[in-house]
Amino acid sequence: MIKTSKLAVAVHSAILFGGVVGAQTALAAEQQSEQQEVERIQVTGSKIKRIGATAPTPVVVIGRTELEDAGVSNVNDFLAELPSASVGLSPENSNNFIYANGLNTTDLRGLGSDRTLVLVNGRRFLPGQAGGNSVDLNNIATSFIERIEISTGGASAVYGADAVAGVVNIITRKSFDGIEIDLATTEPLEGGGSQKFGSLTFGREFDGGGFIFNYDYTDQEQMARLDKDWYVDAVGSTPNPNDTSGDDGIPARIPIYDQEHYGLYDESSEFFLGGQQWTFDENLNLRPFDNGDGPLPGSGLPGAGTNWYYTGPFGDGIQYGVDEFFRTPLERHTFNLAGHQEVVDGHDLSFDVTYSESEAFGQGTPIFLRGDELVIRRDNAFIKDDLASLMDENGVEQINMRRLSDDFGPRKYSQDRSTFRVSVGLDGYINDNWTYSTYFQHGEMTQDTSWYGEVFTENLFNALDAVEYEGQVVCADRNEDGEVIGALQGCAPINFLGKPQHSAEALEYISTVAKAERGHEQSSFGATVTGDLMELPAGYVSSAFTYEWRRESAYETPGTGIRKGLIFGNSGLPYEGSLTVDEYAAEFLVPLVYDRYLMQEVNLEAAYRYMDYSSTGTDYAYKIGFTWQVNDDIRVRFAQARSVRAPNIGELYSSSGTQYAQERAEPCAADAIAKEDQYKEQVTRNCAAAGIPEGWVPSDDWRDGGSLEGKLGGNPNLDNEVSNDITVGFVYTPSFLEGFDITVDYWDFEIENAIAFFGYEDSIRNCYRSESLNNPFCDAFTRDPDTYEVVDFYETSLNASVEKLSGVDIESVYDFDTRIGGFKMKLIATYLNNYELNPTGNAEDNRTRTGEQHKPRWEARFTTEYQVGDLRTVFAANYTHATVEERPAWSIEDNNYNDIPSYTTFDINFDYTVNDHVDVRLGVQNLADRTPPRNPFAFTDGEYYDVIGRRVTAGVNVSF
């Protein structure tokens, strides 16, 4: 039999374990002990209902109060400050992600949002993107959250696929009796980005049941980059004109502390002719191009391309930072309704319904036109005498221009999302020893996307070919010899020789709004029974048996213009995909030793899950671990697990669509090979094996051609990735220091057959930096057989990588009272011991990347809470250790700004309880107005640094 003393030990351990119990839970346990009643509860990381809240794996708990103290209206903003988590997507880094603007996803261990399983009340939640599996935390109402439990480490054996990095279990409020209104605002002290928040919660408890309703509203305004003074005081980089080779000790790139404007693609059009660059003035007259203080010098490497950037006052070309956001605007509404009712004694029927709507949009530069896309013939009707004379002097019949065409406005990507989810559960007792829990849930997400500022390709080209015909300026209808034989009916000509006032007819003829609809459905059923199997000398063997079924389906339906390839630079095909999975799981808790010297309690824990996917077949996950309560002060734990992530629908089945590479990477160019260091031998050998002659360089037209166009899509040949992880830790709660505890856990991950998305830049570099051309990346792009220039590429996901990650988590709390008030200090820190990434899986391609910007050595959050009377003050510090941008491949030959300094921000918040019904709060985030490090790699990065700046938050909570 489980004795009362054992219950006391379990509860005591839970409090000191960094688990889920607080003062109220401990009091309840004490009352239960007095009544000789033992209640079993379920904690994150296990489905076994156990005595006390002792978690089987490390668990970090965030309560409602902590969220309120942080002054956040989205839970992802708080999770991003935890050392064990980072931002997946957010309004600060998703501006140019066409289908992801405004999403908020979390990323445990920095292993990717798709490897972090987000649960709501222990059940899967609907993905935030069609075809994906990461959850959009915009759909979780902050004011509806009771607490958040974060269990890091592989948990697939307990919860299924996707829990490779761990589980974020969001526990919502189950009961409420009364009405609560919460209003808050956040105001940055510079630039835009204001945020308004409001919530209404009401509910009622009655005999055997109750209900709760919640509504959250958030309006987060955009913040443009040029809104920030520190951004105007720019930091960039430029090729080093003194660099001559890859082994001269001279960096290839150096920082530049001034605004770098791009000296091509002017909004009035620009072109080269007669050895000079030209554009047009406000009167549409030809004039020389204005490069400000003059173009910056190019690299001194042989074969290096021309540097088209210039500094100083903005002249012509593209202005620094124009049409770019630091924060995507986001507006969201979230509704929740939950209830429960005891249907018969010991059996409880529950339900919860979620409906949310969000609207966000990203903004990019207007469309770029270049080369063959913007051809002006000599017979163009809009050519004035000055341009006509210049063309005649140089003996040309046409000119090829470049233009940043703001004639149709900036390209905005509007995202309208709606999510509906309903979950019904029935829980109860089978007998005094066994309980059951069942649920069924269904959810649907739809996403309507509109691209503004787009144009019909054929109509644009027709309108540009303007000629005078029968006394009228019309769109030319030409024969095969190029002779004008008439006017195209329905076409309105347009003039791109400068910036004239375009006719409404021309704009209507050319411009369009591209559209696409995406959707995702998820249905799931689960049943778990838990109870004791047998009694051993140390106690009962507890168990849980689970069956779960899930079906996911997704679709994408592009509008007619995209589907038929009629829209400039934007094409894609529809797709539908689905997968189902049946899962069977068993979990056991075996007490080995109880109440012995230095072994107050020793338990063995084991879990196994069998999975059968319609997409990738069968697989399995397991976990085995030990917990050892040495004495009242020390607890030790160990766990080893095999976790699985199955590829999602988008990775498997998404159709091919247009994609643009942001960088025209070309590792086989002579200047690129010259500045290679660590991989110079491999790159030289592989480029030669690919038939590319020594000393080859791509043409200036290719290099200056803007974003390279290719395709992206799914890969139906993907398989499951597998993670093997180990966790070893201890908890120390010294009896001589009341209120203090410290938890230390060492963790180690190795992910094999890892699923990773490879863009053009990564693929072409991995192809030639590998030991040979026998790797999966060299098939991802196509070269012209004559010029060797890349003309096409395909971006997709591959099972190619191996990732290894290890480190230490530290959590410590010291809670004590003094004559002047109560103090609570809390430290959460993570030390990264090692991170290795092998992009090909071949042993010779393994690269150590520990301490890079996305994987810093140390991350920590320290909070000090001070309570005196009705006033609570919380001071928080968030620290990121100094990092580097590139670890394995960097040398001084690359650049002289690889080192990125440490980064610390401070927050302070005040909460005052006016009376039993009114609570007010005031805070300042980023108290010192810390901007991102002045480093070209970090200066505009909203993923790792605070780009919003100092901001004041204020709120009031009224309940009655």
Q: DSSP secondary-structure letter at 156?
A: H
CB 262 within 8 A of CB 295: no
Q: Cα–Cα distance between 737 and 739 in angstroms, integer?
A: 6
Q: Cα–Cα distance between 904 and 908 in angstroms, integer?
A: 14
Q: How far is CA 522 from the centre of its chain?
A: 22
Reply yes or no on whether the pLDDT at 24 is more than 50: no
* β-sheet bridge partners, residue 955: 184, 921
Q: State the pLDDT at residue 14.
A: 34
pLDDT, mean of residues 268-272: 97
Q: Cα–Cα distance between 334 and 221 in angstroms, integer?
A: 18
Task: Using DSSP, state whether 387 is helix, strand or coil.
Answer: helix
286 HSE (CA, 13 A, CB side): 16
Tens digit of each residue's pLDDT (9 = 90 or more) over 932-954? 999 999 999 888 899 999 999 99
Pair type for strands 708-712 and 790-818: parallel
Reply yes or no on whether the pLDDT at 29 is more than 50: no
* β-sheet bridge partners, residue 709: 660
Q: State the pLDDT at residue 3.
A: 34
Task: Using DSSP, state whether 492 is helix, strand or coil.
Answer: coil
Tens digit of each residue's pLDDT (9 = 90 or more) over 897-921? 999 999 999 999 999 999 999 999 9
Q: Cα–Cα distance between 411 and 404 in angstroms, integer?
A: 11
Tens digit of each residue's pLDDT (9 = 90 or more) over 30-75? 343 333 344 556 767 788 876 544 556 778 888 888 888 777 888 8
Q: State the pLDDT at residue 659.
A: 87
H helices of 17-81, where? 23-34, 64-70, 75-79
Angstrom CA distances, 347 to 337, 341, 761, stand at 21, 9, 57
Q: State the pLDDT at residue 71.
A: 76
- For 548-597, give the secondary structure using H, E and C: EEEEEEEEEEECHHHHCCCECCECECCEEEEEEEEEEEEEEEEEEEEEEC
Tens digit of each residue's pLDDT (9 = 90 or more) over 217-257? 999 999 999 889 999 888 999 999 999 888 889 999 999 99
Q: Cα–Cα distance between 196 and 951 in angstroms, integer?
A: 13
Q: State the pLDDT at residue 557.
A: 95
Reply yes or no on whether the pLDDT at 13 is more than 60: no
Residue 876 backbone class (left: φ over 0; alpha: ψ -120 to 50; beta: rest) = beta
Reply yes or no on whether the pLDDT at 720 is more than 90: yes
| 285 φ, ψ (degrees, to nearest 5) | -90, 150
pTM above 0.85, yes or no: yes
Q: Cα–Cα distance between 118 and 170 in angstroms, integer?
A: 8
Q: State the pLDDT at residue 55.
A: 57
CB 131 within 8 A of CB 98: no
Reply yes or no on whether the pLDDT at 846 is more than 60: yes
What is the Cα Rg of the chain in Å?
31
CB atoms within 10 A of CB 481: 6
Q: State the pLDDT at residue 54.
A: 57
The mean predicted confidence, pLDDT, of the chain is 90
Q: Give the chain's count of helices (H) and strands (E).
A: 15, 53
Reply yes or no on whether the pLDDT at 503 is more than 50: yes
Q: Cα–Cα distance between 381 and 391 in angstroms, integer?
A: 14
Quick one: tokens of 908?
């302070």
Quickly list DSSP for 892-915: TTTBS--EE--EEEEEEEEEEE-S
Reply yes or no on whether the pLDDT at 678 is more than 90: no
Give the range among 432-436, 657-661, 814-818, 854-858 with minimum mean pLDDT.
657-661
Q: State the pLDDT at residue 53.
A: 43
Reply yes or no on whether the pLDDT at 497 is more than 90: yes
Residue 921 backbone class (left: φ over 0; alpha: ψ -120 to 50; beta: rest) = beta
CB 382 within 8 A of CB 497: yes
Sign (positive or negative) of CA dihedral 662, 668, 674, 680: positive
Q: Cα–Cα distance between 539 and 896 in angstroms, integer?
A: 63
Quick one: tokens of 823?
């103090």
Reply yes or no on whether the pLDDT at 663 is more than 90: no
Pair type for strands 599-613 and 166-172: unpaired
Q: Cα–Cα distance between 317 and 406 in angstroms, integer?
A: 12
pLDDT, mean of residues 508-518: 95
CB 515 within 8 A of CB 531: no
Q: State the pLDDT at residue 22.
A: 34
Q: Cα–Cα distance between 112 and 97 in angstroms, integer?
A: 16
Residue with tokens 């054992």: 6
Return the H-helix or E-strand segment holding 416.
strand 411-429
Residue with tokens 């810093």: 856
Give the range among 356-365, 432-441, 572-581, 637-646 with minimum mean pLDDT.
356-365
Quick one: tokens of 461?
């080209």
pLDDT, mean of residues 291-295: 90
Q: Work out the burial of residue 452: count CB atoms within 10 Å of its CB; fewer than 13 is exposed, 13-18 middle, 19 or more buried.
A: middle
